[in-house]
Amino acid sequence: MANSAFVAIDLGAESGRTILARIDDSRLQLEEVNRFSNGPIRIGDALYWDALRLFEAMKQGLAAVVRDRQVAPAGIGLDTWGVDFGLLGAGDELLGNPRHYRDPRTNGIMDKAFARVTREQMFERTGIQFMQFNSVFQLFAMRLAGSPLLDIAKTFLTMPDLFNFWLAGEKVCEFSNATTTQLYDPRAKTWAVTLFEALRLPLEMMPKIVPPGTVIGALRPSICEELGTKAIPVIAPACHDTGSAVAAVPAEPGSNWAFLSSGTWSLMGMEVPAPIITSQSQAYNFTNEGGVGNTFRFLKNIMGLWLVQECRRTWQRAGQAYDYGQLSDLAAASKPFAHWVNVDDPSFLAPGDMPARIAAFCERTGQAAPDSPGAFVRCCLESLALTYRVVVNVLEECTGRKIDVIHAVGGGIQNTLLCQMAADATGRTVVTGPIEATAAGNVVMQAIAAGALKNIDEARDLVRRSFELKTYAPKPSPAWDEAYARLCKHRSET
């Protein structure tokens, strides 16, 4: 394998960063060259992404690579969250700021959509779990609101596809992100035409779908001139950030593993060769998102560390500043199993006073509310770990496959208390690492496209050799079983 350099641009819900990666025969090295904030911009009642500012920050990161470090990368790859999108009009002009998935315009929209196409029909066609912010529901909300943008839009691009268009000038939709729209038919391997017809959405605006590892084009001449560089290939990795993270899961071939991408969201699932679209998977509201190497990610979206993040923001606004390490220490010192919540409760979705919402949930379910930051955070972490147990059991039931180990990746694995809780609650060994799984997966998919790596097995072997992994052995107890029974009883009643 020849020495190769690649640039990974990784956009998360709270921040983005540009990573310079170097690959040689023994390991993958990642260097963060710039980091920039991200988050929703509120105007009136609406939430938006600041797409132009994000794109400018990306270019600053590229400048730090090609101009400051004098590196000529073999590729540029970009990944972001799913579901959100921009619409282009005549002349490829962006029609309005892209909305944030926590925007309230989709509140109550699913029932209105199901009056046009049933829940069963939609799942049978797409295999995607129902969340009110999926692209299909955002577009349908625009249609019901009489938005003129749908009538003048020429091209629909998910967020990474929009940025790739601004980078390379090519309008395509990468497979892993296309599936998150809930408008893709995995059996027909194209857009779900009948859904567009039933919901009166313009099919003609949907672009060509390309697989992960596609060379989209070259960096626009205007950007090359701005940065003082020659043309650089722009490569679509798995443009959905979880797709890239799973590409870097350091699992051994043939092992019985599940993945847990831990961060603002927890995404937990298994890599499967074909989508699992059954009445059983629909009843559990599991999803089939596009993966790498002709696979799907059969998984469940879980609210994740968002609950802790929003608690921390609420306390900061009140003048109580804690870092995440302090909150974890306070949680570890708090009484175990004193409180629990259903982390998927819709009341936790929007930004706001999360401690008040957790307290309200506890009161609704006959519990005393937590009375300290440590108790609130412990409640969140234990509830997450118990939800992981629910998901592991459903994964085994739906796939008929045994899970021996959970590979946890992403920034959330820095919370070692949660990692041990995950092992204890599920009764499975948890192996953590790498933290920078999304960037690593982005890079190895670029490397496969460029011929620097042969396939995903070789890529995962490189990841195993490049990053420190930590193992958490399970310490199950009757207390976890009792807490799990309480959570399952609540979920069955709601």
- What is the DSSP code string of 340-381? ---TT-GGGSSSS-HHHHHHHHHHHTT-PPP-SHHHHHHHHH
Q: Which residue in 286, 488, 471 sits closest to 386, CA to CA?
A: 488
Classify 208 as helix, strand or coil: strand
Q: Which residue in 5, 46, 39 sits closest to 24, CA to CA?
A: 5
Q: Measured between alpha carbons, how far is 89 from 93 in angstroms, rounded to an integer? A: 5
Q: Measured between alpha carbons, how far is 175 from 486 in angstroms, rounded to an integer? A: 39
Q: Measured between alpha carbons, how far is 366 from 370 in angstroms, rounded to an integer? A: 12
Residue 420 token pair: 């041990």
For the question of residue 45 being annotated catalytic, the response is no
Residue 328 token pair: 């974890």
The helix or strand, by DSSP H or E, that contains position 114, with its residue range, turns out to be helix 109-114
Q: Measured between alpha carbons, how far is 386 from 268 in angstroms, rounded to an integer? A: 13
Q: Measured between alpha carbons, how far is 424 from 452 in angstroms, rounded to an integer? A: 40
Q: Side chain identity at 364, as an amino acid letter?
A: R
Contact between 32 and 17 (Cβ < 8 Å): yes
Q: Which residue in 89, 110, 107 sits closest to 202, CA to CA?
A: 89
Q: Measured between alpha carbons, how far is 451 from 456 in angstroms, rounded to an integer? A: 12
Residue 311 token pair: 């608690």
Contact between 19 and 33 (Cβ < 8 Å): yes
Q: Measured between alpha carbons, how far is 74 from 445 in angstroms, rounded to an integer? A: 12
The helix or strand, by DSSP H or E, that contains position 168, with its residue range, turns out to be helix 159-168
Q: Which residue in 472, 479, 476, 478 sits closest to 336, CA to CA?
A: 479
Angle at CA 105, nearest 5°, toward 102 and 107?
80
Contact between 20 and 72 (Cβ < 8 Å): no
Whether the CA torsion 386, 388, 392, 393 is positive or negative: it is: positive
Q: Side chain identity at 191, as an amino acid letter?
A: W
Catalytic residue (one of 185, 241, 345, 424): 241
Catalytic residues: 241
